[in-house]
Amino acid sequence: MEEDTGTSTGTVTVVVIGYDDAAHVTAAVRSALAQGPAVREVIAVDDCSTDGSAGLLEALAAGEPRLRVVRRTVNSGGCGTPRNDGIDAATAPYLMFLDSDDVLPPGAVDALLRAAGRHDAQVAAGLCVRRELPSGRETPWQPGLYARPAVAEHPAGRRRLVHDTLCVNKLYRTDFLRAHRIRFPEGRFPYEDFVFTARVLAAGPRLALVPDRVYVWHVRRTADRLSISLDRAGVDNWRARTEAARQAYDILLGAGEKRLAREARAKFLEHEVRMYARELELRDASHRRAWWTLTRAHLAAYDEADFARAPAPGRVIARVVLASEEPRDLPRLRELAARPSRLCPPYARAPGGAPVWSADLPQVPLDHVLTRPLRLLPLAVDAELRPRARGTRLRLVLHELYGRVAEAGPRTVEAAFVHRENARTRTVVGTAVLRPSSPGSGTWTAVLPLGTRALAAAGAATWDLRLRLRFADGSARDTTAHAMAGPGLLTRTALPSLRHGVLLLHPYATHSGSLALRVAPGPRGAAAVLRRRLSRLLPRTAAPAR
């Protein structure tokens, strides 16, 4: 937490934007007003809502002089235009943005304002957390940037700033935005944050970073209208994302910020390409072809230095896409895109012996696997889980990787299931010795019994398998496991239970191919799992933008 040096009264405008979000907009506005006297005004821009949102805001404003409501007469179709309206209407020296379905945590404005004032920074930024609802599970966004207080005299001195494309976890000097004419793209422009953030960084501000939580991003995956960052089922979403990334690169390069521009391309490979590649198998053939074509067109502008800056998984996936005109190797790409990454067999070599993606794509090198530390290698582990009344067992198979595994000497594997909604809750499966599957097989196998009592005690829940591989050379690798499919695998099984009557176990593969396990004790628990599953299959409409 930043040391308290006092904050000025009435120095911040908070711009809240919303469209047809009557269920949440007042909570967002109240969280801004609750920031205290530093907030001069909250400007709520209603983007021509039809669900009564504007009326709720007007009623709230009647009793709150710091709240101003701006009602648009035509829906803009996105987030950029209403935010620009807020910039135009702001009267305070500083401003920040808030979406109608999110909240500012207590003390957020003061923490950012203190940092901006102390360091004479045009921009102050803090930690955003993604809060899954209704579970409440929180995941920090770009936590490495906000691990401790810091000052960047210029964005180029901290290139990782390019990875934080959010506009909402930051405080901006109003005159800085206006002097540099920094605005959001107008109308329906998905991923408007990408372009706005690039414009901010291109202007070369001094930035103050604080470890304080300054924004809570609510993620409602079961909402009727998914935010566009969550609704990736249509290929237009990818088209919009590549266009936003292209514009961000051009803005940075046009400002002479070549290092930041390269970092933006590295971020695209590491984040966007991996995220969408994990889900590509879920789409139909026409979507895959369109995605592949769009990606090839976007990556055609990259040069070798752009690829070299990106971490290996995204770089390799991109090179496979560029090397093939048609979609290929999707299951293997999905495993490589996982976090942690898994490089599954086959392990091909070029005629000279160098590791390559495949015999027919020798132009895609995998030489990084020969030099990276073992703790960072994309080791592949297969997992089989067969629920049985007489005893459930977890079978793990570790694959060789161009001689690196045998060289390190596999010894043991520790397995645990981690609660999906509360990562602090773990069920340890146990530790087993890794033994050669057979002479010369290039694999090592371990089998562990799985007790279900601790899993069932948490109620209906989803558990993710986590592994720690230990080697004779003292190294270790934390990873996940590829979920093996086949007869009797990845199917729902009802087991008798003395305590619960029935226990429903469902091993399944996540979007990235990792083994996970749904557990539902008792008839009610099983019914709850089925209801949640059904809700995910029901059609939804997408929100205008996020």
Confidence of residue 471 (pLDDT cuts 50, 70, 90): very high
- pLDDT tens string 523-539: 765 555 555 555 544 44
Across the chain, mean pLDDT equals 92
377-536 shares the fold of 12-220:
no
- pLDDT tens string 144-153: 999 999 999 9
Report the topology of domain 12-220. Spore Coat Polysaccharide Biosynthesis Protein SpsA; Chain A (3.90.550)
Give the dihedral sign, CA 114/119/121/125: negative
Work out the average pLDDT over 87-98.
Answer: 98
Alpha helix positions (H), 375-429: 404-408
- pLDDT tens string 299-323: 999 999 999 999 999 999 999 999 9
- In whole angstroms, how far apart are CA 110 and each of 15, 29, 150, 153, 215? 16, 17, 17, 21, 13
- Which residues neighbour 372 within 8 Å (Cβ) at sequence distance 6 or greater? 312
Work out the average pLDDT over 374-383.
Answer: 96
Q: Does domain 377-536 have CATH number 2.60.40?
A: yes
Domain extents for the chain? 12-220, 235-371, 377-536
Cβ atoms of 61 and 34 closer than 8 Å: no
Work out the average pLDDT over 11-35.
Answer: 97
List the beta bridge partners of residue 39.
12
- pLDDT for residue 534: 54
Q: How far is CA 261 from the centre of its chain?
A: 21
Tell me how long the chain is. 546
Question: In the chain, what percentage of residues exceed pLDDT 90?
Answer: 83
Distance CA 280, CA 278 (A): 6
